[in-house]
């Protein structure tokens, strides 16, 4: 008897991602043919036993594409609270438990992000924990054909092991969006529920936008570490001269000094309200390479372009903890933090020089 062709099973939520899942199916059908795919709305077996067929297909597929769009986890959480059968969850669990040889690939649509285990209901935490450990791909409707071509190239190797074409899965590096300017709103949302916040920049020109959210975070007693350039060092003066022609020097000279007073004032206010705080502010005096806003799973990388403020330059938003990018950024923060020359006593506002061995 001839071996059955290795199949790609498309797992998706009809109420959320029917159209994009259909588009993905159409592209892969043109590439591999009907016999290599299972997509429920394309399968016709009038009078057949549908649940049994579905289970059979997912138990024997070679690849499971898990389509994840906006509100994917919200819907999964909602259905986990009911007795209604949820095929999306059931199909993924079946592969994890009974089809160990299957390759599971999360497919993130546009700006969708891998869900976080902490946001999952108790009944689906194990599923989410396993899912977020997998390498994901992004399919963006602006770059659909190229994204699908990259994915199809990799899938060809998975369903045709005899293929000699060397292919690497197009990596989900964690980059979810490139913002034209500093994304204050996205940073605010990231800070709101973070368990740890690290900020590395020259000076915070958008403090009024962030103060409310940092205060909320500080009240929860989370670890907050802020690294700013020493406002009195020569490098700070040079940086100010670079951006002064386009942005005005007086304003930034004030901001450099005001940052410390703002953070000290916030610390004192919360301390007076008996909040248990874990906030530290240090100064560094080395040439800044990048601006970093790091929270638990979301990070923002900004650039110090010549003659332009950081908040006016493009910024890259990352999701997850990919070591290629985020690992290096976290290491950069740690290095600069350890090389900082001054720590601010937030109780008094005094500057204390850090002694190095």
pLDDT at 46: 45
- Starting at the edge strand found earlier in the chain, the sheet holding 37-38 runs 37-38, 8-11, 63-68, 103-109, 137-139
Specify the CATH architecture of the domain 177-353: 2-Layer Sandwich (3.30)
pLDDT at 266: 92
- Residue spans of beta strands (DSSP E) within 165-243: 175-179, 196-200, 223-229
Distances in Å between the Cα of 63 and the Cα atoms of 4, 160, 165, 333 are: 14, 12, 18, 39
Task: State pTM to two decimals.
Answer: 0.54
Per-10-residue mean pLDDT, the chain, length 357:
71 91 91 87 56 83 94 92 88 89 91 87 90 87 84 84 52 66 82 84 81 87 91 81 59 68 92 93 82 81 71 77 64 86 92 83
pLDDT at 145: 84
Sorted by where each begins, the domain ranges of the chain are 8-172, 177-353
Expressed in angstroms, the distance from the first to the final Cα of the chain is: 74
Q: Does domain 8-172 have CATH number 3.40.50.10140?
A: yes
């Amino acid at each position: 008897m001839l071996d059955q062709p290795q199949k790609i099973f498309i797992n998706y939520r009809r109420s959320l991602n029917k159209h994009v899942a259909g588009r993905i199916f159409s592209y892969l059908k043109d590439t591999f043919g009907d016999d290599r795919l299972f997509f429920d709305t394309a399968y016709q077996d009038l009078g057949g036993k549908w649940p049994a067929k579905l289970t059979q297909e997912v138990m024997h597929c070679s690849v499971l594409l898990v389509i994840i769009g906006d509100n994917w986890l919200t819907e999964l959480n909602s259905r986990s609270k009911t007795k209604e059968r949820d095929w999306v969850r059931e199909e993924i669990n079946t592969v994890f438990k009974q089809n160990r040889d299957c390759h599971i690939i999360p497919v993130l649509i546009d700006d969708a992000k891998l869900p976080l285990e902490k946001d999952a209901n108790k009944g689906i935490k194990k599923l989410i924990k396993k899912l977020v450990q997998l390498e994901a791909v992004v399919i963006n409707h602006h770059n659909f054909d190229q994204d699908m071509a990259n994915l199809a190239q990799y899938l060809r190797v998975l369903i045709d092991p005899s293929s000699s074409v060397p292919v690497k899965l197009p990596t989900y590096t964690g980059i979810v969006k490139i913002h034209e300017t500093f994304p204050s709103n996205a940073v605010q949302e990231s800070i709101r529920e973070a368990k740890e916040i690290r900020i590395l920049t020259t000076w915070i020109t958008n403090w009024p936008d962030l103060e409310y959210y940092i205060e909320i975070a500080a009240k929860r007693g989370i670890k907050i570490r802020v690294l700013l350039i020493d406002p009195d060092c020569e490098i700070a003066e040079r940086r100010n001269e670079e951006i002064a022609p386009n942005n005005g020097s007086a304003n930034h000279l004030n901001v450099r000094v005001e940052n410390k007073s703002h953070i000290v004032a916030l610390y004192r206010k919360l301390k007076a309200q008996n909040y248990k705080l874990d906030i530290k502010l240090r100064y560094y005096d080395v040439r800044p390479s990048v601006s970093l806003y790091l929270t638990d799973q979301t990070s923002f990388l900004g650039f110090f372009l010549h003659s332009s403020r950081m908040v006016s330059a493009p910024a890259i938003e990352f999701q997850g903890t990919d070591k290629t990018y985020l690992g290096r950024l976290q290491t950069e923060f740690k290095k600069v933090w350890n090389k900082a020359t001054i720590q601010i006593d937030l109780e008094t506002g005094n500057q204390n020089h850090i002694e190095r061995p």
